[in-house]
Structure 1
Amino acid sequence: MWRKFTFLRVSHFFRNTTAGAAVLTGCAGAQALYLQRRYEPLPEARGPLSGVARSAQQARTTTEAPRLPFGSSRLEASSLDPLLPRLPPRGRKNILFVGDSLITGVGCSQERSHGPALPRAVAEFLSKALRVDVSWVAIGETAADVRALRTNLVPLLSREVEAMRERGQHVDAVVIICGLNDFKNAYRSAGNTASDFRTELSSLVGEVKQHAGVQCTVVLPALPIHRAPVFDGIWPLQSFLGRVAALWDEQKAHLAHRLRCVAYVRNAERDEWWSGKQYWAVDGIHPNDEGYRIWGEHIAHGILPHLVPVPS
């Protein structure tokens, strides 16, 4: 009798737990759909889609070592000194950026015309740190998921790589910003799973390396979507979205662990202040110029070890 009673209690618990999880998931999906329908798109950044961060100019604009992002202490010059002697007296790094609205610069000020802020911030940080010129090219498509990046942007990347080779240059790194438009549609179709995302992303990385070269480092940054103020205080969506975004970012980490010359840049720790509205555009989902600068420096710091030649 006791065993039967215990079994019924356990069964009742699991039924309630499963039902509760389904209700919360459905509620979060409804909240996400509501926000998506109310969303008013912001324009892309104005200005050039490529540029060069000049080492001499960066040295004139600041006498301090580059800053570590997310409120951390400044990057001490002594931490870079062991790396710098390995660099040639003259050099240039070429970085391509491929991605969605975070690459096209949605959220940047329309009063300026400097182009997308994220690629420029990464290039400027690396130029200061490595003391070389760093060129950047932004290849983006607003609202693109990984499939769209493969279909629409890989051909553009291929042409850019060929143009560099004709000038006697090569691509040192390709930064791929993706995932936002993949996991936000996860509730719409059974085909939009984390596993499907990993498969598509693996194919994208392979195609990028096919064009840019196997020695080119492909960088896959995590997205700080869990700090976007548009979701602040919306329960259960905020908690649910944070877990889903982390699951999609885990696929990037998995590929970086498995594939050669692929780097994963995780989100910074102790980044609670990153939720401050002063770092985000009015839509609450895209960073503003200052937010892009901070995030760009964080990504650049993760790229830095991969751009320093290993002594022979």
Structure 2
Amino acid sequence: MIAADQILRLPLLPLLIAQGMVVRRKALRLPEPEGPRQGRLGSGPFLRLLIAGDSSAAGVGASDQTQALAGQLAHRLAQGHTVHWQLEATTGHRTADTLRRISQLPARPFDVAILALGVNDVTGAVSQGRFAQQQQQLASLLKDRFSVRHILVSGVPHMEHFPALPQPLAWVLGQQARRLDHRLARLSTQIDGFHHLPFDLPSDPHFAAEDGYHPNPKAYSFWAERLAHEIEKLFIRA
């Protein structure tokens, strides 16, 4: 079935294009935070962690990496592990970009990979089929070349709640984000070790960065806590 937003997209196209241009022109462009992008923390059993993806994985919205997703997640996991962590993320990256980036890294083993992708696939009009194919290729690369045991894939954010996006643009992008997220959920039933975690951050403006588009440190803390909990459950089961 064709969804309502897909039916209405054509008559709404002039408005959507105009809104997109205004958003791009007025958008507050926050930098990626300063700080190390790899390190070692804690004591206990070794845990080798790779975080990859787009600007949210890179920590845009935080002032430094200690307040961003990677830093907060590594700190949380270091309470019970010796964590070797590495961040490979860039603003604007789609799944295809991350696939190319990871393929250029020297082969080394990781226990867990965290992926945060999808928003730029939505705004870049990547089809559902292409998105799923590239995610599957990325999962295969992580497992075959980097010996990743568990891939935790953060769901595509609910873009209809982004404060920076006006209606109906937010609604149209949000519906497409939901479709891509459903593809990720389906892949989790098809690929061993591929775990889909719905992006369930509160849709409260207090969790948004000043650009109205990215998480802030409070949201990164919430997100890191959720990921750490899932990682610990996986290793307890192992």
**Above 0.5 in TM-score?**
yes
> Do structure 1's residue 297 and structure 2's residue 219 form an aligned pair?
no
1:282 counterpart SS class: coil
> Do structure 1's residue 150 and structure 2's residue 99 form an aligned pair?
yes
Alignment of 1:213-252 (within 5 A): 213=147, 216-226=149-159, 227-231=161-165, 234-252=166-184
1:230 counterpart SS class: coil
Q: When the two structures are superposed, what TM-score results if normalisation uses the length of structure 1?
A: 0.67
**Conserved? CA contact 2:60–2:68, under 8 Å:** no
In structure 2, the residue matched to 1:6 is none
**Offset, 1:20:** 4.8
| Percentage of matched positions with identical amino acids | 25
In structure 2, the residue matched to 1:205 is 139
**Offset, 1:114:** 4.0
* Deviations 1:146-203, CA, capped at 9 Å, x for gaps: 11111223322xx2x53xxxxxxx42101111111111121xxxxx211111111111
Letter in 1 for 2:195: A
Q: Distance in 2 between matches of 1:200 and 1:141?
A: 17
Cα distance change, pair 42–19 in 1 and its aligned pair in 2 (3 A): closer
- Alignment equivalent of 2:113, drawn from 174, 182, 185: 174
1:149 counterpart SS class: helix
> Do structure 1's residue 23 and structure 2's residue 11 form an aligned pair?
yes
In structure 1, the residue matched to 2:26 is 38
Alignment of 1:1-312 (within 5 A): 20=8, 22-24=10-12, 27-54=15-42, 90-109=44-63, 113-115=64-66, 117-128=68-79, 131-156=80-105, 159=106, 161-162=107-108, 170-186=109-125, 192-213=126-147, 216-226=149-159, 227-231=161-165, 234-268=166-200, 274-310=202-238
Q: Distance in 2 between matches of 1:251 and 1:26?
A: 29
Q: Distance in 2 between matches of 1:146 and 1:18?
A: 23
- Unaligned regions of 5+ residues in structure 2, if any? none
Q: Distance in 1 between matches of 2:62 and 2:193?
A: 31
- Unaligned regions of 5+ residues in structure 1, if any? 1-16, 56-89, 163-169, 187-191
Cα distance change, pair 31–304 in 1 and its aligned pair in 2 (3 A): farther
Letter in 2 for 1:142: T
Letter in 2 for 1:43: P
2:87 counterpart SS class: strand
Report which of the two has the higher share of helix.
Answer: 1
Q: Distance in 2 between matches of 1:114 and 1:43?
A: 12
**Offset, 1:36:** 2.5
Cα distance change, pair 176–19 in 1 and its aligned pair in 2 (3 A): closer
Q: RMSD between aligned alpha carbons? A: 2.4
1:258 counterpart SS class: coil
**Conserved? CA contact 2:114–2:152, under 8 Å:** yes
**Conserved? CA contact 1:104–1:116, under 8 Å:** no
Q: Distance in 2 between matches of 1:116 and 1:204?
A: 27
Q: Distance in 1 between matches of 2:121 and 2:85?
A: 25
Q: Distance in 2 between matches of 1:184 and 1:142?
A: 13
Cα distance change, pair 122–114 in 1 and its aligned pair in 2 (3 A): closer
Choose 1 or 2 for highest CA Rg: 1
Q: Distance in 1 between matches of 2:90 and 2:28?
A: 17
1:120 counterpart SS class: helix
1:220 counterpart SS class: strand
Q: Distance in 2 between matches of 1:211 and 1:91?
A: 23
Q: Distance in 2 between matches of 1:306 and 1:256?
A: 15
